[in-house]
Structure 1
Amino acid sequence: MHTASLPILSQYTLNALSTIEHETRRLFHGRGRCFEGLEHITVDWLQGQVLVSLFKAPAEDFLLALQDTLEQWTSTPQWQSSSTRSLLLQHRYQQNAPIECIWGEHHTQQLITENGLTFKLDLDRNQNSGLFLDMRLGRKWVKENSQHKRVLNLFSYTCGFSVAALAGEAEYVVNIDMAKSVLNRGRENHRLNGHDLSQVSFFGHDIFKSWGKIKKFGQYDLIIIDPPTFQKGSFAITKDYQKILRRLPELLTQKGKVLACVNDPTLSAQFLIDNMKAEAPNLQFLSRLDNPAEFPDIDSESGLKALIFQA
């Protein structure tokens, strides 16, 4: 990270802030390596709060210069014409990823909208706030392709895909995640959108111990697989993804679809295509979803890979 690059950070962030619409968006994405010296910084517009995230420990001179730069933002015309209430700096490289308030009043919980849907974020001491913004177009696709369908949402986290599916008139959604706390947030996200919870199930469950709970709901018209790259003691993407893919033929309806995702920068889309061919050869690769334009990447294979397959 270089202090000489901070004017570029200001230019892109403030320009994006001046044109931002009502929904949540990323303002600056340095992690795509398109901005030299800013590869470990992101900036998000969270509808009243601006969150700057540092993903690598900075040198002391850079941190001081960054804090000074952030304070200067608050006196610019772009900032003053926005409805921003606070400016937050998250140290993602530290344990528990603490957040400090640079300006304004820090609200630890924040309601945001995306594609017309409402989600609650935690902006306290969690590494992740509750919604991965690079998956915006994935949730949009699910909303547009869920009508009258039974949906299985694996590694559901806070149930963003589930909310999108019910908004798209899905018949039923089954959410699976090992962490019951994120499923509770998922319930809350559904309630925020006025959804009928009798159409949704939430299971705090390790899929590698048993598939019985999943199979008892019958076959699914759409299966979403969006796993972490690595979760100590439970999931490693290069050796465990295959165990899921080989289960798909028995879980999918005829002509059922799969949205399979990988966010490991070291793995290409071909990783998914090859493993699907090996483990579930009756599924055909259809297309790869675009990533949002606000997530530029020097290498398309380094960013999010969200692929559609069909039985």
Structure 2
Amino acid sequence: MQTSALPTFFAHITQQLGEVPDEVRRLFHGRGRCWPGLEQLTCDWLQGQLVVSLFKAVDEDFSAQLIAGLEQFAQSDIWLQRNGTAILLQHRYANGAPSQVVVGELDSRPVVIESGLKYQLDLGRNQNMGLFLDMRLGRDWVKAHAQDANVLNLFSYTCGFSVAAIAGGADQVINIDMAKSSLAKGRDNHQLNEHNLAQVKFWGHDIFKSWGKITKSGPYDLIIIDPPSFQKGSFALTKDYQKILRRLPKLLSENGVVLACVNSPAVTCDFLIDGMKEQAPELLFQYRLENPPEYKDIDEQASLKALVFSR
């Protein structure tokens, strides 16, 4: 990380804040390695609040100039025009991802809007805030393909895909995640959007111990797989993803579609394409969803991969 590159960072977020809609958005994605000297820095706009994240420890000079620049940014015309209220600096590299409020008074539980849908975030207490912004176009795709569908949402986290599916006219969504606290937040997200909770199920189960129950509620017209790269004691990407793929033919309806995702720079699209050929050869790769333009990466195979398969 280079202190001399910080003016580029501030110029870019100034430009982006003037252009983004009144929705939640990433303003700066240094992790795409398109910004030399700023590879471990990101910045998200949460409709009034700015979350700046460092993914690697920096020297005192970089830290001091970053904080001074953020304080100055909070006096800028664009900050005032967009009704900015607070800036949070998160140290993602440190244990517990500690955060410090640099400007203003933080609203730690803001409700934000993405593609017209509401989501409750949780700032300053966890590494992740409750919505992965790089999956915006994935949620848009689900909304566009969920009409009258029976949907299975594996590794559902806070149910962003589920919210999009119900908004898109799904008949039912079954969300499965081991973290019941995340599912509770997912229930809140549906309630924020005034959805009929009778259409949504929240199962706090270990997927690999629940195939019988999952199968009984099928077949599914749309299956979404969006696991973490690694979750201690429950999921390891290269070992466990194939166990899910081999189950798909029995879970999927005749004209069903699978959205399979992976967000690890350690594997390419071939990890999913070849895995599907081996484990469920009757499901064919159709296309890869584009990532939001603000998530540009010097190597697209290192960025989020969301692939569509069907019979």
Range into which the TM-score falls when normalised by the shorter chain: over 0.9
Query: Residue type of the partner of 2:11?
Result: Q
Q: Which residue matches 1:263? A: 263
Q: Which residue matches 2:253? A: 253
Q: Which residue matches 1:198? A: 198
1:20: how far off? Answer: 2.1
Query: Residue type of the partner of 1:258?
Result: V
| Residue 76 (structure 2) pairs with residue 76 (structure 1) | yes
CA distance in 1, matches of 2:116, 2:302: 29
TM-score normalised per structure 2: 0.99
Instruction: Single out whichever of 217-226 and 53-62 deviates more from structure 2.
Output: 53-62
Instruction: Single out whichever of 41-50 and 77-86 deviates more from structure 2.
Output: 77-86
1:96: how far off? Answer: 1.6
Q: Which residue matches 1:224? A: 224
Q: Which residue matches 1:276? A: 276
| 3-state secondary structure, aligned to 2:110 | strand
CA distance in 1, matches of 2:300, 2:162: 27
Give deviations 1:215-252, integer Å, cap 9, x for gaps: 12121000000000001111110110000000000000
Q: Which residue matches 2:58? A: 58
1:125: how far off? Answer: 1.3
1:119-198 to 2 correspondence within 5 Å?
119-198=119-198
Query: Residue type of the partner of 2:41?
Result: I
Identity score, percent: 60
Give deviations 1:64-94, integer Å, cap 9, x for gaps: 1111111111122221211111111111111
Unaligned runs of 5+ residues in structure 1 are none
Give deviations 1:106-142, integer Å, cap 9, x for gaps: 1111100001000000002100000000000000000
Q: Which residue matches 1:38? A: 38
Instruction: Single out whichever of 15-24 and 155-164 deviates more from structure 2.
Output: 15-24
Count of aligned positions = 311
Q: Which residue matches 1:5? A: 5
**2:150 and 2:218 in contact (8 A); partners too:** no
CA distance in 1, matches of 2:248, 2:209: 16
Query: Residue type of the partner of 1:227?
Result: P
CA distance in 1, matches of 2:138, 2:218: 24
Q: Which residue matches 2:22? A: 22
TM-score normalised per structure 1: 0.99
CA distance in 1, matches of 2:72, 2:254: 58
Instruction: Single out whichever of 248-257 and 77-86 deviates more from structure 2.
Output: 77-86
CA RMSD of aligned residues (A): 0.7
Unaligned runs of 5+ residues in structure 2 are none
CA distance in 1, matches of 2:76, 2:56: 27
